[in-house]
């Protein structure tokens, strides 16, 4: 494997993430929904990324759920997902955090949904 | 059931485009995990992060052999509230030292439900202070425990030092309807604050 530019030479690489503790992009909230974008060629992926692809192949899941199902820390999961987004295998569907406060429509929809359960 | 990959119903519906979260917070053994489990449509999930005592995420222990580390866990579940919308509930520890985890949790959260136990009200102070520091609005739900003392709401409000507009409700985290009503009280509060800001 070629050395990645984020890898620091003097620190023992993290086995799962290929040496990085932080994702290359910061688009992931815990509830960002992830879906598979491309799964024709998985030959270059690490075993951990294969597991992510296998899990996500069934449908959309949040970042937190992927971490929970794979029994990985969220921080590690974000690095794996970031790589898979970079390589075009995974994409986000919804839940990218905004800077704005939650909007009125969403809150009203949450309220309606909760009331419907009673 | 160890293999999660055999079940189809773990996935978010295809029609869902919006995912939001509410935090369920409080001190140790206040019922966070029970609350999340009662309302979640999926088997609640669990993640763990290794943190230093200072609260930073541990990215490589080899470089810092003398740092004390601890594991912080959170439980979460999911409620599909409409064709378009899922709500995630995150049960999270209220310890101040887990700064990074709190940052992740608070980012984009609609608000928080603080669970409290009348036997240990003062243990809720820390988490309420943290929510205020993060500018996250919250409601307080007294989780009913068998044998725990009951007090008039006015006394509870005073003991918890709640603002007049902060909702105080009572719930039983084992009961879906009761737990749902506690969330409704929170969301109504969030909507009311939203209206005030827009006015």
Give B114-134 pLDDT, tens digit per residue. Answer: 999 999 999 999 999 999 998
Residue B101: the pLDDT is: 77
Closest to A61 measured CA to CA, from B107, B173, B19, B120: B19
* Residue B199 at interface with chain A, using a CB cutoff of 8 Å: no
CATH code at position B125: 3.40.50.300
Residue B193: the pLDDT is: 83
Mean pLDDT of B75-82: 96
Q: Output phi, psi for B158, to 5 deg.
A: -70, -45
In B, minimum Cα distance to A20 occurs at B59
Q: Note whether residue B148 is domain-resident.
A: yes
Structure token pair of residue A68:
């929970």
A33-115, what's its fold? Arc Repressor Mutant, subunit A (1.10.10)
Q: Note whether residue B31 is domain-resident.
A: yes
pLDDT of A100 over the 60 cut: no
Residue A94: the pLDDT is: 63
Q: Output phi, psi for B88, to 5 deg.
A: -100, 140
Residue A6: the pLDDT is: 45
Q: Note whether residue B55 is domain-resident.
A: yes
Name chain B contacts of A101, Cβ cutoff 8 Å: 194, 197
Q: Residues 47..86 of A with a Cβ closer than 8 Å to B: which?
A: 54-55, 58-62, 64-65, 67-69, 72-75
> How many CB atoms neighbour CB A2 within 10 A?
5
Q: Note whether residue B89 is domain-resident.
A: yes
pLDDT bucket at B51, cuts 50 / 70 / 90: low
| Nearest-angstrom CA–CA distance, A40 and B18 | 28
Q: Containing domain of residue B141, as a range?
A: 18-198
Structure token pair of residue A78:
């974000």
More confident residue, B72 or B61: B72
Residue B21: the pLDDT is: 95
Q: Note whether residue B100 is domain-resident.
A: yes
More confident residue, B163 or B198: B163
| Nearest-angstrom CA–CA distance, A23 and A80 | 8
pLDDT bucket at B61, cuts 50 / 70 / 90: very low
| Nearest-angstrom CA–CA distance, A19 and B48 | 20
pLDDT of B163 over the 90 cut: yes
pLDDT of A78 over the 60 cut: yes
More confident residue, B98 or B169: B169
In B, minimum Cα distance to A118 occurs at B177
**Share of residues in chain B with pLDDT > 90 (%):** 65
Strand partners, B116: B142
Q: Give the gap in angstroms from C-alpha B162 to the nearest C-alpha of chain A.
A: 23
> Counting one residue from A and one from B, how many pairs have CB atoms under 8 Å apart?
159
- Domain range annotation of chain A: 33-115
Residue A19: the pLDDT is: 61
Residue B85: the pLDDT is: 94
Per-residue buried b or exposed e for B30-64, using 16+ beta carbons within 10 Å of the residue's own CB:
bbbbbbbbbbbebebbebebebbeebebbbeeeee
* A31: nearest CB among B20, B183, B190: B20
Using CB atoms within 10 A of its CB, is residue A30 exposed (0-12), middle (13-18) or buried (19+)?
buried
Q: Note whether residue B114 is domain-resident.
A: yes
pLDDT of A20 over the 90 cut: no
Please state the domain count of chain B. 1
How far is the CA of B144 from the CAs of A3, A108, B147, in angstroms?
A: 55, 28, 9
Residue B6: the pLDDT is: 40
Tell me the pLDDT tens digit for each residue of A33-56: 999 999 888 988 999 999 999 999
In A, minimum Cα distance to B8 occurs at A58
More confident residue, B52 or B108: B108
- Confirm whether the ipTM is greater than 0.85: yes
Q: Which of A50, A67, A72, A113 to mutate to test the interface with B (most CBs of B within 10 A)?
A: A113
**Share of residues in chain A with pLDDT > 70 (%):** 69
Give the mean pLDDT of chain B. 86
In A, minimum Cα distance to B5 occurs at A55
- Asked if B17 lies within 8 A of A94 by C-beta distance, the reply is yes
């Amino acid at each position: 494997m070629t050395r990645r530019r984020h890898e620091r030479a003097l620190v023992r690489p993290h086995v799962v993430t290929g040496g990085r503790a932080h994702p290359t992009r910061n688009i992931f909230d815990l509830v960002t929904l992830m879906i598979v974008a491309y799964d024709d060629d998985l030959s270059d992926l690490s075993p951990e990324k294969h597991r992510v692809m296998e899990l996500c192949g069934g449908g959309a899941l949040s970042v937190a759920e992927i971490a929970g199902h794979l029994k990985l820390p969220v921080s590690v999961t974000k690095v794996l997902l970031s790589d898979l987004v970079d390589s075009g295998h995974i994409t986000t569907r919804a839940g990218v955090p905004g800077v704005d406060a939650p909007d009125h429509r969403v809150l009203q929809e949450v309220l309606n949904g909760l009331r419907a359960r009673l | 059931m160890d293999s999660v990959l055999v079940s189809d119903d773990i996935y978010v519906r295809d029609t869902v485009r919006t995912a939001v979260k509410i935090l369920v917070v409080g001190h140790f053994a206040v019922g966070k995990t029970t609350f999340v489990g009662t309302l979640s449509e999926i088997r609640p999930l669990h993640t763990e992060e290794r943190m230093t005592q200072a609260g930073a995420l541990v990215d490589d222990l080899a470089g810092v052999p003398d740092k004390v580390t601890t594991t912080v866990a959170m439980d979460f579940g999911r409620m599909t509230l409409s064709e378009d919308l899922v709500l995630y509930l995150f049960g999270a520890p209220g310890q101040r030292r887990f700064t990074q985890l709190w940052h992740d949790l608070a980012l984009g959260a609609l608000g928080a439900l603080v669970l409290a136990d009348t036997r240990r009200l003062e243990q809720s102070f820390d988490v309420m202070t943290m929510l205020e520091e993060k500018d996250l609005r919250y409601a307080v739900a007294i989780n009913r425990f068998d044998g725990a003392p009951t007090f008039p709401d006015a006394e509870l409000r005073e003991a918890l030092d709640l603002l007049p507009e902060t909702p105080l409700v009572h719930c039983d985290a084992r009961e879906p309807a009761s737990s749902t009503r506690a969330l409704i009280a929170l969301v109504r509060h969030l909507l009311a604050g939203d209206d005030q800001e827009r006015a």
